[in-house]
């Protein structure tokens, strides 16, 4: 397992937010693992994964230039619009080769529910993702509005550490609410899997990062963990 971890998170420098999802994938909690990385020219060691019983599909995509940690993936771009996108690679990994093409098709051509189910996400969160995507770079305002209404945010729904390079206790899931019971259960599952594999320090880091207050500027959608006296924080407990 260590060779797989080294290949993903050291050699390819995969976002640390994927680590809990990767561990849950190894535990069998997730049928498919999706990884998106910059097109850095480095080859993916598919034989290494096959040796461990995992099939890998690779596809080249384009990601819109990110603002406020938002980027949309598309299989093609309109000629003349190249400056607004960067080339990336998506790797799909599963024990079951037959599922990979089906997942890849769903992911690339907008079958959000099927793709989300393959990734093991809660159905309520899958059905809500369009409400977040429509906001684009202002996506954080969805959660600001949710927090203002609910007056509560569970630490197991906090994906904001992704935006400042931290470790997300909920992986890459966009929860449908910061109090969603299904998202909380999903986040707890990821965290428990990390602990069960013996990564006690990482599990402590996940909790620490998840408890970090977040400040969102409703005007431009900017997200920061740095205290801003002009803004009210989202406090995760």
Give the tokens for residue 31.
Answer: 């049928």
Give the tokens for residue 49.
Answer: 């994964």
Residue 115: name the closest of 80, 135, 90 by CA: 90
CB 58 within 8 A of CB 110: no
* DSSP code, position 231: S
Give pLDDT tens digits for 206-237: 999 999 999 999 999 999 999 999 999 999 99
CB 189 within 8 A of CB 166: no
Q: Which domain holds residue 170?
A: 2-234
State the pLDDT at residue 37.
86
pLDDT tier at 45, thresholds 50, 70, 90: very high
Beta strands 223-224 and 85-94, pairing class: unpaired
Beta-bridge partner residues of 214 = 234
The full length of the chain comes to 237
Domain count for the chain: 1
pLDDT tier at 80, thresholds 50, 70, 90: low
The residue-averaged pLDDT of 46-71 equals 87
Give pLDDT tens digits for 2-35: 899 888 988 888 888 889 999 999 998 889 999 9
Could you give the CA distance from residue 102 to residue 204 in angstroms, rounded to a whole number? 36
R_g over Cα of the chain? 18
């Amino acid at each position: 397992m260590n060779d797989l971890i080294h290949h993903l998170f050291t050699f390819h420098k995969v976002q640390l937010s994927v680590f809990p999802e990767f561990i849950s994938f190894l535990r069998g909690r997730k049928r498919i693992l999706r990884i998106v990385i910059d097109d850095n020219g480095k080859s993916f060691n598919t034989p290494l994964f096959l040796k461990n019983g995992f099939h890998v599909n690779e596809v080249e995509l384009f990601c819109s230039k990110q603002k406020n940690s938002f980027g949309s993936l598309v299989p093609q771009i309109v000629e003349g619009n190249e400056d607004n996108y960067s080339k990336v690679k998506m790797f799909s990994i599963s024990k079951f080769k037959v599922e990979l093409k089906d997942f890849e098709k769903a992911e690339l051509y907008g079958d959000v529910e099927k793709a989300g189910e393959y990734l093991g996400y809660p159905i309520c969160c899958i059905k809500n993702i369009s409400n977040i995507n429509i906001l684009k770079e202002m996506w954080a305002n969805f959660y600001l509005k949710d927090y203002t209404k609910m007056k509560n945010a569970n630490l197991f729904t906090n994906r904001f550490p992704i935006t400042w390079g931290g470790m997300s206790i909920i992986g890459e899931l966009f929860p449908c609410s910061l109090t969603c019971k299904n998202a909380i259960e999903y986040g707890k599952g990821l965290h428990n899997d990390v602990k069960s594999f013996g990564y006690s320090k990482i599990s402590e880091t996940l909790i620490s990062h998840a408890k970090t207050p977040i400040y969102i500027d409703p005007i431009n959608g900017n997200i920061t963990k740095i205290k801003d006296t002009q803004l009210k924080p989202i406090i995760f407990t």
